[in-house]
Amino acid sequence: ALADTLITHAARPEAGVLSMRRSVRIATHPALRGRGLGRALVQHVHRHYAVDLFGTLFGATPELLEFRRALGYRLVRVGTARGARSGEPSAVMIRAASERGARLVDSLVADLARDLPIQLELVAADEGFALDPELARAFAIDLPPAVDLDREQLALRVRRYLEGPQPSNAAAWVLTRFVDEHRLLLSELSPTDRALIEGRVVLRQSWERVARSAGLDGAASAMRALRPALRRLAERAGLVSNDPGAWADDAFRHEG
């Protein structure tokens, strides 16, 4: 699950060559809490595995985020929907244990600094209410200032989204930046494509509202249709070819 999250959802194929170990959520009996048992269990895992990184995925709370940060973990991803059990988005946190693991974590944290404000806005639109302010503040702790991507990196990230299964929410900043740069080309698209892109990427409306504006049958249809619509915009912008095979290899090229 951890590798899939990094490769698929974070669109980082280079994570596939790293060794990693998932550190599962720690549960301590109420009568034994406050004795450092949870911390000791996690540290035991750290001592006994020689890997590039340790990772954990859980329903986010301020307390759990603080617990993992104290053990050297950094927040690298926030889920794009609220969990059925916790009612809050999931969190992915990673503790680097090698130089190449640290490089990946630094890059993922930089992505999150760009993406998080838009992601939380989209989650709120879909769910109809905003995230708990305390949790939103906890997500933002230790995030660096957002730094723009250069043109080459932006193009690479857009291609990765278009070619792969990455959810649009997980590429929120990249897609917003791309559409902003090519806003004038939206008039060349079909009314359905234009409604999809303007509704979700520009206006950050809920999937249900976007589907209605685009004349589609429900949120799932809109989710499936957004990627092809953005691909057609990318074709007009000269970012991709009409033949996906001509650029797919470049989109997933390992970043040296």
The DSSP result for 67-124, as a single string, is: HHHHTT-EEEEEEEEE-TTTSSEEEEEEEE-SHHHHHHHHHHHHHHHHHHHHHHHHHH
In angstroms, rounded to a whole number, what is the distance separating the alpha carbons of residues 73 and 55? Answer: 8
The rounded distance, in Å, linking the Cα atoms of 109 and 155 is 19
Residue of 55, 54, 65, 78 lying closest to 141 (CA atoms): 65
- Tell me what pLDDT residue 110 has: 96
Backbone angles phi, psi at 29, to 5 degrees: -55, 140
Which CATH homologous superfamily contains domain 2-140?
Answer: Gcn5-related N-acetyltransferase (GNAT) (3.40.630.30)
Residue boundaries of the structural domains of the chain: 2-140, 151-251
Q: What is the pLDDT of residues 33-86, one digit of tens each?
A: 777 777 887 887 888 899 999 999 988 999 999 999 999 999 999 987 766 566
**For position 95, what pLDDT does the model report?**
96
Look up the pTM and report it: 0.85
Outline where the chain has alpha helix (H). Answer: 2-4, 37-48, 62-70, 99-127, 133-140, 151-163, 172-181, 191-197, 207-214, 219-236, 248-251
**pLDDT surpassing 80 at residue 242:** no
Q: Stretch 4-30: mean pLDDT, rounded?
A: 86
* Rg, the chain, Cα only: 19
* Mean pLDDT estimate for the chain: 88
pLDDT, tens only, 168-226:
999 999 999 999 999 999 999 999 999 999 999 999 999 999 999 999 999 999 999 99
